[in-house]
Structure 1
């Protein structure tokens, strides 16, 4: 938390410095200072380790994403939305490594803390449904699958939902 306060203080100092630079006709340096202060404000709301892990996940480099997230010592000190996405990313990595018990805990923590985007909530619920289906717990799997359906308004996960429904019919 102290780290976030320091970031905001640095952003404020840079913003004041940019005003001073604009007054003294150093327009280029003033614009640079405004951009740097914006970067500090952005990292206050978006944790850089989460952003790097998201990048590695998009490139399907799960091992690298796991190493980045392992560098976070105290996720409970993050802003709540950052903490939720930390657990969400950890759950995705554990599910890719077939560590279902750990993935389940991480997804549940992420959902309890509160993911911001409905699509992310739907993905977490869909993964929980798959985990419970692999344990042959059809009741919980149906519950989480229904939650995923309700949250997936744009039908981005329609193929995965149908696949899980098809697997559920086999059990």
Structure 2
């Protein structure tokens, strides 16, 4: 759970350790340091700073979360379980900034990846339905709501779905 600078520092430490071990002919320790360097490099591309960003996101510090999400070198390389959270946080941050096109884009991507559970996926569909409603697209909004109904587990999610359905029917 490091940011990019922390990972780069660890990679530098393991590189120096490997070189020192090679200088003293400690090949097993050098290979272990090389393995740790490779693990940190792999972690940088597959997990990046998403977990750390989610910590700030849950605490309501969206600016810091966005900074950490900007450190992700390539979102396509993230592990499946990290990519869903990455896109979900990106979408919610875009909603806060009232950038609805970006929010819809990121929610669309988040809907394709696993999230915490059915209810989390239901909230993605609810957001997509709400964004479609904002565009007055009744067909897409209904389609998202039907999918959200299948996934919604909590009373709060079901209540939101009913409210959006009423608004869609009033169009």
TM-score, structure 2 normalization: 0.66
Structure 1, gaps ≥5 residues long: 11-39
| Cα separation, 1, equivalents of 2:158 and 2:113 | 26
1:8-30 CA-partner distances (Å, limit 9, x unpaired): xx9xxxxxxxxxxxxxxxxxxxx
Deviation at 1:101, TM superposition (A): 1.0
| Cα separation, 2, equivalents of 1:63 and 1:71 | 13
What is the match of residue 49 of structure 1? 49
1:30-65 CA-partner distances (Å, limit 9, x unpaired): xxxxxxxxxx9xx79x94622222222222222222
Number of aligned residues: 133
Matched residue SS, 1:72: coil
Return structure 1 stretches of 4+ with deviation > 3 angstroms: 113-116
| Cα separation, 1, equivalents of 2:143 and 2:107 | 15
Q: Over aligned residues, Cα RMSD in angstroms? A: 2.8
1:111-159 CA-partner distances (Å, limit 9, x unpaired): 2234352122111111100100000001100110111111012334123
1:88-123 CA-partner distances (Å, limit 9, x unpaired): 211121122211111111111122234352122111
What is the match of residue 19 of structure 2? none
What is the match of residue 71 of structure 1? 71
Q: 1:91-170 residue pairs with structure 2 within 5 A?
A: 91-115=91-115, 117-170=117-170
Matched residue SS, 2:119: helix
| Cα separation, 2, equivalents of 1:151 and 1:164 | 16
